[in-house]
Amino acid sequence: MQQLESYLNGSWHPGSGTPLHDPTTGETVAECGSEGLDLAAAVRHGREVGGPALRAMTFPERAAMLKALAGAIHEIRDELLDLARINGGNTRGDGKFDVDGATGTLAAYASFGKRLGDRPYLTDGEGVQLGRTPRFWGRHVRVPRPGLAVHINAFNFPAWGMMEKAACAWLAGVPVLSKPGSNTALVAWRIARCIVESGLVPEGGFQFLCGSAGDLLDHLGPMDGVAFTGSAATGLRIRSHPNLLAQGTRVNVEADSINAAVLAPDLEPGSATWDLALSNLATDITQKAGQKCTAVRRIFVPEDLVDALLEDLGTELDRYRMGDPGERDTRVAPVAPGQIEDVVAGLERLKEAAEVVRGGTRPEGPGAFLEPTVLRARDAEAEVLHSLEVFGPVSTVVPYSGRAEDATRLANRGGGGLVISLYSDDAAWTEAVTLGVAPWHGRVWIGSKRMAEQALAPGMVLPQMVHGGPGRAGGGEELGGLRGLDFYTQRVALQGFQGFLDGRFGGPEEA
């Protein structure tokens, strides 16, 4: 059995105590643990060794590092896909979604960074006259914070989740200590081995903690930051950690999100926009066994279109075979290790307000499988529909009036989401709903016949666009091009002689 290691203070440290399972067979495939590790020393190592080395590099040099890392990880792609199947229960397609997302994000940030020049700062907007003449001038710039970025990642995307955070931190010049979700850590551990063996990241610029975070947060200070993806309950514990509050340590949280899809009353079954909605909904229910933070949990459908939607969605889902993720024609895999009980319990709670119209059963035999499940709400106002996220292949169709104001009100009852998808060819309806839901969502995906043939699905997080959401979704923000560097840099206002400021701290605006 594989014993996974942590990489801290410049060396590897084996650990044990936490078993990792294959969710298809239930077999134990590895173990990890962090007992006895000196996490205070790891924090110092990152700050004192990794930080100065990264900050000594120019933006183009850091960009070249990211590009080379993308290539190094791509070289072990097939191995990672096998590990994603063994420990995550991923189909090959699900594994590609994770691994290729990781390398693609590294490559994207490499392209962003190579245009930034050799400056040790980023310009932030135009300069402004502060006195009677332009001689007294002001500028805003962003400089890297001399601390450590602690990344606590979720179990569902061990590759992409780790690299999308790291890409932003490294390009900003900040060292990383990455902690994966323990139950699916095999993929993250193999990537960590690849990073260290490549020698591309300066010593101290990357550390890897496989197991419990222990007392790690006790050692962070005002220049450090914690970026967390996971449950709202854990996010709250991190936000309220006494040392983080006392030190003013930055915390970025991406938490639960009861994402919604809204179909407009102008849609007609069989139209291009209708078919786009069907394809995306089926993908969201089945991809990664529904275990995506961007997956649709509530599907709002005008009352007179509900029966047609349920029939067509059922037909679409019939095309998705559930089974062993190692078989090429399998489209629906088991949920991740240790998650099936929560998924089944959540489904039972949803049944209080909705009836199952498709799926909803666990097959006999080994494996953490649940049939792709669609429910129909009996009451659109039922609180459980808008407050419970069942993190599996489960989604609920919620009939509504079709009016823009009702769509907006019901969607926003989720309390804040990562993404909401709208399907309509009615510009007035779409504009009204977009403006109504925008304050409560990090991203609004607008589907219509004009973009149907070229659209990427709403569940796909792109490095060019912001990922995060307000309220229940955690209030955090990641990616978004160079906006992703904001968390790792300090915005500072400079005031002085215009010639000096423009000459020493000017430059092209951020791309």
* Of 5, 31, 164, 254, catalytic: 254
Say if CB 281 and CB 374 are below 8 A apart.
no
Task: State whether the Cα torsion 432-438-440-443 is positive or negative.
Answer: positive
Say if CB 243 and CB 220 are below 8 A apart.
yes
Say if CB 92 and CB 81 are below 8 A apart.
yes
Measured torsion, CA atoms of residues 283, 285, 287, 288, in degrees rounded to the nearest 10: 170
Residue of 225, 229, 231, 233 lying closest to 251 (CA atoms): 225
State how far the Cα of 468 lies from the Cα of 470, in Å rounded to an integer: 7
Q: How many CA atoms lie within 13 A of 142 on its CB side?
A: 20
Say if CB 137 and CB 165 are below 8 A apart.
no
Question: Angle 253-140-133 (CA atoms, 0-180°, nearest 5)?
Answer: 155
Q: Is 194 an annotated catalytic residue? A: no
| Residue-by-residue DSSP string for 266-333 | T--TTSHHHHHHHHHHHHHHHGGGG--TT-EEEEEEEGGGHHHHHHHHHHHHTTS-BS-TTSTT--B-
Q: Is 32 an annotated catalytic residue? A: no
* Of 32, 194, 210, 293, catalytic: 293
Residue of 420, 88, 457, 460 lying closest to 282 (CA atoms): 457
| Residue-by-residue DSSP string for 238-275 | HHT-HHHHHHT-EEEEE----EEEEE-TT--TTSHHHH
Say if CB 393 and CB 290 are below 8 A apart.
yes
Active site positions, annotated: 254, 293
